[in-house]
Homo-oligomer: A and B are copies of this chain.
Amino acid sequence: MSRKFFNFSDTDEGNKKTKSYRHIIVVVLVLCISFVIGLLIGHFGIEKDSNSSKEGTHSGDGVFLPGVPEAIVRDADPTVSDWILKELNAERIRENLRNLVSSPHVAGTARDFEQANDIRKFWLDVGLDVAETTPYDILLSYPDDVKPNLLKVLNSTSEIVLQSPDNELNLTSEEKPWDFPFPYLGYSGNGTVQGRIVYVNYARTEDFDYLEANKVDVSRCIVLARYGKGGRSGKVKRAEDRGAIGVILYSDPADYIAPWVSDDYYPDSVWIPPTATSRGSIFRGTGDPLTPGYPAIASAYRYDETDEESQLPMIPAMPIGFQFAEKLSRYSRWGRLYDMMMGGEDAPSGWTGRLLNQTSYKIGPGFNDSSLMLELSVHTRNERRISYNAFGMIRGEVEPDRYVMLGNHRDSWVLGAIDPSSGTATMMELSRVLGQLVKEGKWRPRRSIIFCSWGAEEFGLIGSTEWIEENSNVLDFRSVAYINMDIAVTGNYSIRGLGSPPVFSAMYRAAQKVPNPNTSDTEHPTVYDTWKARRTLNNPEDGSSLNIPKISSPGAGSDYGTFQIRAGIPCADFRYDQDYAGEGILFYPLYHTSYETFYAVDELIDPGFVLHSTIGKMSGELLRDLADSKIIPFNMSDYGLFLEHYTYAMEKNASQEIIDYNINITELHRVIDLYKEEAVNFHKIANNVNTNNPVDVRRINDQMIQLERTFLDPASLPGRTQLYRHLIHSTPQNSAIPEASFPGMQDAIYKLRQEPDNPDFIRELQHHFSVLVFTIQAAAYSLKDSTEFFRNTM
């Protein structure tokens, strides 16, 4: 069975032909035969001496695997990068977008269902191997078809003196307010309440604390809060907790129109017009509210909407445009001009926005004319509906059980040309480009690629969360990474990158391969160059530039939240966006309004769709690299840097608490140093692995894809019903200490700043710190060689 190399005695053929020298042709023939026989024996006949391998030595000859395709040892085909760059077509993205945003496609509606099916069919058409839609039975929320949500000012005889508009104004041919759903906040309580108005600024904890300190009681009042500096659902929750009976949210011009803009707004520019009303969900959880932690399948146990587990708001709430907010504070009635119609004290300076260029805002409670009363009527209803995810898959050639996913949600609040369809249009084009290679037999990635179109993200990342909850075990073991493509483009200023540290370097490499869409900027030939120039990562220890582009931790703002935080799957997300900081605004102004139109994207944001195709190319190149490279292009060392940055931020922003509560920061530094050391060792071993050995390759890759899961902790955050938390990437419930620090530490420190002596909070801080330290140590040990991990000592 086993033959020694060069052992001719085993091969009779070597001696057989010595008699044939009669004729040159015969000689040539025999030479050829001899060569061919040698060739055949060399190719098929020679196996490694099995005795030597029994001793575990790699004797250097090798093994022949009958019936196994060469793909098992082949590395990625580099020409596919060029194909993506060449083929990804801006005009097709534009056409995809035009089709997607022809009408509203709110989650759970007929149009949404239709789009799920359209995308499924599209994926089959463009050549993916499998395409499916999967349903979940979830709680959604809709405005009434007939009765708009309304805000009224009533006088003492209940006459209406002021009433909010039913819907946003029609400003281009695309907005059809007469056909569009009334503005609403998803999962709002419904009914009609009357009360005095109180202005609560951003409705943050510190805002309510200010009111309390100034003896302004919001209980039994309707609060008016501006959008921004924190999530919608938290604003409503805090109002509810303090006894408010209703909430009105509006977008203040100070937060969504740059200071130098006067009347230059949509459709002339991207700035919000006066009736622009931003919708959104005010559910506090993630996933279907009735089935927290588990998939919303038919057999699921469903909590009642009023159960605490559902995390639903109880009081009515609605959004308004800033025009109506202006009317509330200053309007003309029966010929008399009421400046500062709202009563009470002046708000502090930080509370003043730019409503009609007022120099100060009033807090209330109530109006100057105390006979006037505010009435809020909300007709929004919760309803169980079927919501679909759609999937399209390319089966991996060598490792079909390793998944690299790329997805976006499909549902919008109205037309959703930016959120989410800019991403969907781009994802579709990318799937077409890759599908074509597969269809034509030119390429098949080493690992499986799954394209995902999520349902009901807007309501609380529901489609992706239910899917992860249903398939958590399978995804836990098989997932390599998830690339998100939600809002692809909001402006042409710079890339904004979100990601998990293992993917950073692959994200950079992808950006280095894609040309700068601004071709006139010859100093910055690639997207990487312009990204680095515009958004540089600084060392938080000393503020010095690290000379690489900034990538932030993914929060829970899109479906990556579920992947990163619940499932511990490394994520990446690219976007081309505006320079919000430079423009002095909080986010892209048309966000979640009816004015997210094809027109806005095509004319105002990305004429020619070159930014869209840039995002498509970057995401596509990253996808290809992760799916096709024999050794997954993860860098384990970047987590070390990331953890260090978080530690510096904590040391800077919570220095007093570190002393007061005996937080052993030295121990944290020790385990981070250990992590860094093990990461370096790991890559040394990985670089020296025999890449012809598919099991060794898989072992190295397994260690890399499993690292992120180490940071998952099965104990959910206090007061949340989800299972698991991510020790590094969970969104803190409160932002007591600035960005870039450990979420569990932020939460505990925040609580201690309210109540410095509360023993429960001290325990929470100290316990969480010890879990954090241990987890980083466990991550370090997970990178050790397989025979070393259990050497762990204290």
Chain A residues proximal to chain B, CB less than 8 Å: 2, 6, 13-14, 17-18, 21, 24, 27-28, 30-32, 34-44, 46-50, 53-74, 77, 129-130, 132, 134-137, 293-295, 297-301, 391, 393, 395-401, 441-444, 448, 450, 467, 470-474, 476-478, 664, 667, 671, 690, 692-695, 698-699, 702-703, 706, 709-710, 714-715, 723-724, 763, 766-767, 769-771, 773-774, 777-778, 781-782, 785-787, 789-794
Question: A787 contacts which of B36, B393, B476, B699 (Cβ < 8 Å)?
Answer: B393
In contact, B57 and A69 (Cβ under 8 angstroms) = yes
Asked whether A767 and B301 contact (CB < 8 A) given A31-B17, A132-B791, A473-B710, the answer is: yes
Given A32-B14, A74-B53, A471-B778: A301 in contact with B770 (beta carbons within 8 A) = yes
- Inter-chain CA distance A714–B472, complex, in Å, is 11
Q: Using Cβ atoms and an 8 Å threshold, which residues of chain B touch A137?
A: 794
Interface centre among A43, A132, A136 (most CB of B within 10 A): A43
Contact of A67 among B690, B769, B777 (CB under 8 A): B690
Cβ 8 A contact of A782, one of B36, B473, B710: B473
A54 and B477 contact, CB distance less than 8 A:
no
Q: Is B18 touching A21 in the complex (CB atoms < 8 A)?
A: no
Residue in B closest to A20 when the chains form the complex, CB atoms: B27
In the bound assembly, the distance between CA atoms of A42 and B39 in angstroms comes to: 4
Closest 10 CB pairs of A and B: A42-B42, A38-B38, A42-B43, A48-B70, A39-B42, A301-B770, A53-B69, A35-B38, A38-B39, A714-B714
Complex contacts, A67 vs chain B, CB 8 Å: 58, 60-62, 690, 692-693
Taken together as a complex, chains A and B put the C-alpha atoms of A577 and B368 apart, in Å, by 88
Q: A-side binding surface: helix, strand, loop or mixed?
A: mixed
| B38–A770 CB distance below 8 A | no
Q: Chain B CB within 10 Å — which of A70, A767, A789 has the most?
A: A70
**Chain B minimum-CB-distance residue to A791:** B132
Extra A-B contacts (19), CB below 8 Å, given A56-B397, A714-B714: A18-B31, A21-B24, A31-B31, A43-B43, A48-B70, A57-B69, A60-B67, A63-B64, A65-B694, A67-B690, A129-B787, A293-B715, A300-B770, A396-B786, A398-B695, A401-B702, A471-B790, A695-B698, A698-B698
Q: How far is the CA of A472 from the CA of B477 in the complex (A)?
A: 14
Most B CB within 10 A of own CB, among A69, A391, A401: A69
A63 CA to B68 CA, complexed, in Å: 6
Docked pose: A42 CA to B474 CA in angstroms: 41
B46 touches A39 (CB 8 A): yes
Contact among B32, B41, B59, B295 with A774 in the assembled complex (CB-CB below 8 Å): B295
Residue contact A71 to B54, C-beta cutoff 8 Å: yes
CA distance A24 to B17 in the complex (A): 11
Closest B residue to A401 using CB positions? B786
Bound: A46/B39 CA distance, A = 9
Question: Are A470 and B690 neighbours in the complex by a CB distance under 8 Å?
Answer: no
Given known contacts A399-B699, A441-B55, is B27 in contact with A21 (CB within 8 Å)? Answer: yes
Which of B35, B54, B397 makes the CB contact (< 8 A) with A37?
B35
Residues of B within 8 A of A391 (CB): 790
Contact of A790 among B71, B441, B467, B771 (CB under 8 A): B467
Known: A62-B67, A690-B67. A444 touches B56 (CB 8 A): yes
* Min CB gap A365→B, angstroms: 39
Listed A/B pairs (12) with beta-carbon separation below 8 Å: A34-B38, A37-B38, A39-B42, A42-B43, A63-B69, A391-B790, A399-B699, A400-B785, A400-B786, A471-B781, A471-B790, A472-B778
